[in-house]
Amino acid sequence: MQNIQTYINTHKDRFLNELIELLKIPSISADSTYKNEVIKTAEAVKTQLEQAGCDTVEICKTKGFPIVYGEKMIDKNLPTVLVYGHYDVQPPDPLNLWNSPPFEPVIKETDSHPEGAIFARGACDDKGQMYMHVKALEFMTKTKQLPCNVKFMIEGEEEVGSENLGDFVKANREKLSNDVILISDTGMIAKDTPSITTGLRGLSYVEVEVTGPNRDLHSGLYGGAVANPINVLAKMIASLHDENNHITIPGFYDKVEILSEAERAEMAKAPFSLEAYKKALDIDAVYGEAGYTTNERNSIRPTLDVNGIWGGYTGEGAKTVIASKAYAKISMRLVPHQDWKEITQLFKSHFESIAPKGVTVKVTPHHGGQGYVTPIDCIGYQAASKAYKSTFGKTPIPQRSGGSIPIVSLFEKELKSKTILMGFGLDSDAIHSPNEHFGIFNYLKGIETIPYFYKYFTELSKQK
Amino acid sequence: MQNIQTYINTHKDRFLNELIELLKIPSISADSTYKNEVIKTAEAVKTQLEQAGCDTVEICKTKGFPIVYGEKMIDKNLPTVLVYGHYDVQPPDPLNLWNSPPFEPVIKETDSHPEGAIFARGACDDKGQMYMHVKALEFMTKTKQLPCNVKFMIEGEEEVGSENLGDFVKANREKLSNDVILISDTGMIAKDTPSITTGLRGLSYVEVEVTGPNRDLHSGLYGGAVANPINVLAKMIASLHDENNHITIPGFYDKVEILSEAERAEMAKAPFSLEAYKKALDIDAVYGEAGYTTNERNSIRPTLDVNGIWGGYTGEGAKTVIASKAYAKISMRLVPHQDWKEITQLFKSHFESIAPKGVTVKVTPHHGGQGYVTPIDCIGYQAASKAYKSTFGKTPIPQRSGGSIPIVSLFEKELKSKTILMGFGLDSDAIHSPNEHFGIFNYLKGIETIPYFYKYFTELSKQK
């Protein structure tokens, strides 16, 4: 790829400043108070795609937040890459744990990022990684090295389950037609160990409500005589795992993909230090399903976690009350072959069935998505592998991720093409946590690597 | 008692309006934002005690909120009644469940209060019941019928555990010396069924904090691989009761007072309809310790209830996070002979001992107090019984309450006198709940009954 490093060195300050401007807009899709900021972000993305060289860019309305679509078509006979990303971000709370305001980006050096990292909500997930593709396009168009057609689909509801993306994709199969889908919304093993994510977990996210007495009660007068919704909710949640941390929902494991010992042995080769892992999290022990390693627990095995719980008096001091209601947000990470809608139904039926007399239980599904696996013999994977080799000097390691990008399986179903997950973030980048950040090295390396993917994918396509 | 009904009828509008003014001040002792309002309430009480006929009234500083002390001494040779009450109130939340603002009192009719009830936080607990004593004193002084000496001790920290009252009492034994202590901070069985509370439960209130990883984590990348503090807290809470709803803390029941079958049979005579109880709370079944009735579960048996729980994402929508910390407020109601400090220590040791690897647990005691029993053969009880007979035409039923007034046992220890609990509230008055109210009938009946207690207590004291 001609003079890409020169181009990046010449423009890297601008590349950083443009991203910082984008990060200043609090596009929190989960919180309706930020509605206008989310829409403002979509408009900013449109402007940047136009400046990067897209011929047409439109902001496509949905029932929720809009999807930014852009394209640069150079030749119908050449392959087409569809880039997917999202411009919305996770809520930043707990705010008090941020060392600098989540929407006032700052650059600081860290142990893993001696060249500096941008600290802001969305820095890595996904504004930073999405914007690498915009800048890669800029390089390819400005230096006349774009080898194929490119389409962008950047949505604003990924952090709330991409509720309207499915309808958009189904309604625009022709417009979105492509030969491969490229996404940077995952991580890599380490700065010197590139990896490509070949598996994603599915997700089922529900909210539960336990109602006891019709009003809050004095715990002295009623304590011990009526079912306390918080105690009951705790009992019900506790019962969802057995003593081996297996999930107790009947039928939950029926369709779980069972990996061969050979595959598990291959996975086990990925560099991993349990001591470093525990030290990084400041925990004295890991915890999880019996019979599996830490890397297996968070990738090839399904899990159930409470993401939030609340009920009763949570203010300062003490209040001797029995709450009328208690709530929890619960999510299950699913593995290939588990159907998220079926699992959601299994959870609902089971959770309602274990409610004791004296309370009523309501289960409300939030959203979900299927798991996904990328075959390493497809040309998309091959092209990505060669691209990393060119810029890192190393062949990337295929790895299963514990995370979910629910729409990947939807793309395969509706658009009949494979998705390649080229992630440049690190596990230590604290996505979804306070002090999320993205390494400048990773950001620029992504911009450098992506054009090689276009090059090799176009070449390999011709050889077919 | 001469023309008391005439006096009440003549002044009842003023009696109501004065109470309403007091209820307008949000004296929430648990929330430091209301510090000034709490102090303002103390000053208002001082003014009212002076106007009601106290010779001296002072606002006594403590490390926390002040205690209002007032007295009217007419003759050293006559007995002295010490009235205790509190001017602070519970926090009003959840605010959205109030039909009218908690600190904008309104009078509305209800099924149990066809004459109308005052709706406001503190209407019954304890501003309304405390103020009955102020108005009873006004009647006795204005009509020259005060038969004995009277002292008032009205504190502002009852709802947060009366943390500074103990020191005050110990430092002022002489000033507070008395022959009987009179408190209206409990309830009666029904408007036509007067009752005197002869037993109170003790209390131990703690806050627990479970810490897992040192920061919030992405549930996809870490879910299933590290201990989730919320899941762990739920498991730990669930384990505090066994399948019979016995509390599992080792040693918890060792000192519990065991009532004889005869006593339990006597208690069982109190009018009670399980159907009406369930209907009032809109529950399909009661829930509690095996082997005991509802009235036993909430009076003669100790209990453990979670009063509040929180952790992770509790906002709108979904956030796939594993929280670093989870919290709960837990209170235990204790019965006579259980020592609250010992129980708090037993809880702490047990709760810390059941924490799994991968998390750390912190237990912070909030406050507590001992249980108490009033012997029905003491002259204080006899005087109260005759007083109710005079105004209700019925002998009151002695009953054990599930609630706690931690300082009652302190009074007996430090001041060597018995406490008589003349409560005029109803269980349906929703104390500690949204829409707390106090019946106008009950308020005025209290003002009418209290002077008879003074009369009979003085007479019975002379006969000794």
| Element of type H or E holding A297 | helix A294-297
Token code pair at residue B113: 């209060």
CATH of B4-200+371-462, one of 3.40.630.10, 3.20.20.210, 2.40.50.140, 3.30.360.10: 3.40.630.10
Tell me which residue in A225, A234, A321 faces B298 most closely, judged by beta carbons.
A225
For residue B245, give every residue at least 6 positions away whose Cβ sits within 8 Å of its Cβ, in sequence order, or none: B287, B288, B289, B290
Q: Where are the alpha helices (DSSP H) in B198-355?
A: 219-222, 229-238, 261-267, 274-281, 294-297, 340-353
What single-letter DSSP state applies at residue A396? Answer: P
Which residue of chain A comes nearest to B323, CA vs CA? A307
Average pLDDT on B394-404 reads 86
Q: Which residue, among B97, B110, B321, would best test binding to A if mutated, counting the most A CBs under 10 Å from its CB?
A: B321
Contact A318 B281 (CB under 8 A): no
CA distance B356 to chain A (A): 9
Which residue of chain A comes nearest to B207, CA vs CA? A318
Tell me which residue in A233, A327, A331 faces B320 most closely, judged by beta carbons.
A331
What does the pLDDT read at residue B100? 97
What does the pLDDT read at residue A407? 85
Q: Which residues of A touch B288 (CB under 8 A)?
A: 224-226
Long-range contacts at B266-274 (CB < 8 A, ≥ 24 apart): B267/B295, B267/B296, B267/B299, B267/B300, B267/B399, B267/B400, B268/B293, B268/B295, B270/B189, B270/B195, B270/B295, B270/B397, B270/B399, B271/B189, B271/B190, B271/B193
**Per-block mean pLDDT, blocks of 10 residues, chain A (464 long):** 92 98 97 96 98 98 98 97 98 93 97 96 98 98 97 96 94 97 94 91 95 93 94 98 97 92 82 92 96 93 97 91 97 92 98 97 92 89 97 91 82 94 93 95 98 98 88
Token code pair at residue B345: 């220590």
pLDDT over threshold 90, residue B318:
no
CA distance B190 to chain A (A): 15
pLDDT over threshold 90, residue B59:
yes
Question: Does A250 contact B at CB distance below 8 Å?
Answer: no
| The model's pTM | 0.76
Question: Does B323 contact A at CB distance below 8 Å?
Answer: yes
What single-letter DSSP state applies at residue A424? Answer: -
Contact A309 B326 (CB under 8 A): yes
Contact A358 B226 (CB under 8 A): no
Tell me which residue in B207, B309, B320 faces A432 most closely, judged by beta carbons.
B320
Q: Which residues of A touch B358 (CB under 8 A)?
A: 283-287
**One-character DSSP codes across B70-117:** EEE---TTS-EEEEEEE--B----SGGG-SS-TTS-EEE--SS-TT-E
Average pLDDT on B87-103 reads 95
Q: Which residues of B touch A295 (CB under 8 A)?
A: 225
Question: Does A327 contact B at CB distance below 8 Å?
Answer: yes
Tell me how crowded residue B55 is: count the other CB atoms within 10 A of its CB.
Answer: 11
What does the pLDDT read at residue A49? 98
Tell me how crowded residue A215 is: count the other CB atoms within 10 A of its CB.
Answer: 17
How far is residue B163's CA from residue B157's CA, in Å, rounded to a whole number? 7
How far is residue A259's CA from residue A282's CA, in Å, rounded to a whole number? 31
pLDDT over threshold 80, residue B409:
yes
Tell me how crowded residue A312 is: count the other CB atoms within 10 A of its CB.
Answer: 27
CA distance B72 to chain A (A): 34
Q: Which residues of B touch A241 (CB under 8 A)?
A: 231, 235
What does the pLDDT read at residue A171? 97
CA distance B179 to chain A (A): 28
Residue with tokens 């349990």: A274
Token code pair at residue B143: 């009509």
Contact B314 A318 (CB under 8 A): no
Which residue of chain B comes nearest to A186, CA vs CA? B221
pLDDT over threshold 80, residue B333:
yes
When mean pLDDT is compared across A134-138, B39-43, B108-112, B238-242, the lowest value belongs to B108-112
Average pLDDT on B207-212 reads 98
- Give chain A's radius of gyration (CA, Å): 23
Q: Which strands, in side-by-side order, build the sheet including A437-439?
A: A106-108, A117-119, A437-439
Tell me which residue in B93, B285, B333 faces A220 most closely, judged by beta carbons.
B333
The one-letter amino acid code at A208 reads V
How far is residue B384's CA from residue B188's CA, in Å, rounded to a whole number? 13
Q: Which residues of A touch B224 (CB under 8 A)?
A: 288-289, 297-298, 301-303, 305, 333, 402
Question: Does B312 contact A at CB distance below 8 Å?
Answer: yes
Cα separations (Å) of A113 from A424, A449, B341? 13, 19, 51
For residue B346, give every residue at least 6 positions away whose Cβ sits within 8 Å of its Cβ, in sequence order, or none: B249, B250, B251, B252
How far is residue A315's CA from residue B93's CA, in Å, rounded to a whole number? 9
Average pLDDT taken over every residue of chain B: 95
Tell me which residue in A281, A326, A331 faces B226 most closely, judged by beta carbons.
A281
Q: Which residues of A touch B433 (CB under 8 A)?
A: 215-218, 321
Contact B318 A227 (CB under 8 A): no
Q: A460: exposed, middle or buried (C-beta count within 10 Å: 0-12, 13-18, 19+)? A: middle
Tell me which residue in A222, A313, A402 faces B223 most closely, judged by beta carbons.
A402
What does the pLDDT read at residue B402? 81
Contact B307 A320 (CB under 8 A): yes
How far is residue A445's CA from residue A53's CA, in Å, rounded to a whole number? 21
What does the pLDDT read at residue B152? 98
What single-letter DSSP state applies at residue B354? Answer: T
- What is the distance, to the nearest Å, from the Cα of residue A70 to the centroid of all Cα atoms in its chain? 22
| Element of type H or E holding B307 | strand B303-312
Interface of B with A in 343-362 (CB under 8 A): 356-359
β-bridge partners, B369: B203
End-to-end Cα, chain A, rounded Å: 22
Three-class DSSP category at A341 = helix
Token code pair at residue A385: 């592998």
Tell me which residue in B366, B402, B427 faces A318 most closely, judged by beta carbons.
B366
Domain boundaries, given as residue ranges, for chain B: 4-200+371-462, 202-256+302-369
What does the pLDDT read at residue B149? 98
User: What pLDDT, in 10s, does the model give residues B256-283?
Assistant: 988 888 878 877 878 889 999 999 999 9
Which residue of chain B comes nearest to A367, CA vs CA? B318
Q: Which residues of A touch B333 (CB under 8 A)?
A: 219-220, 223-224
What single-letter DSSP state applies at residue B247? Answer: B
Q: A209: exposed, middle or buried (C-beta count within 10 Å: 0-12, 13-18, 19+)? A: middle
What does the pLDDT read at residue B406? 74
Tell me the count of A-B CB pairs closer than 8 A.
Answer: 378
What is the third-level CATH fold of B202-256+302-369?
A: Alpha-Beta Plaits (3.30.70)
Three-class DSSP category at B265 = helix
Tell me which residue in A161, A367, A431 faces B218 most closely, judged by beta carbons.
A431
Average pLDDT on B86-104 reads 95
β-bridge partners, B405: none
How far is residue B331's CA from residue B308's CA, in Å, rounded to a whole number? 10
CA distance A435 to chain B (A): 10
Tell me which residue in B287, B308, B430 faces A358 most closely, judged by beta carbons.
B287
Token code pair at residue B341: 């400090």
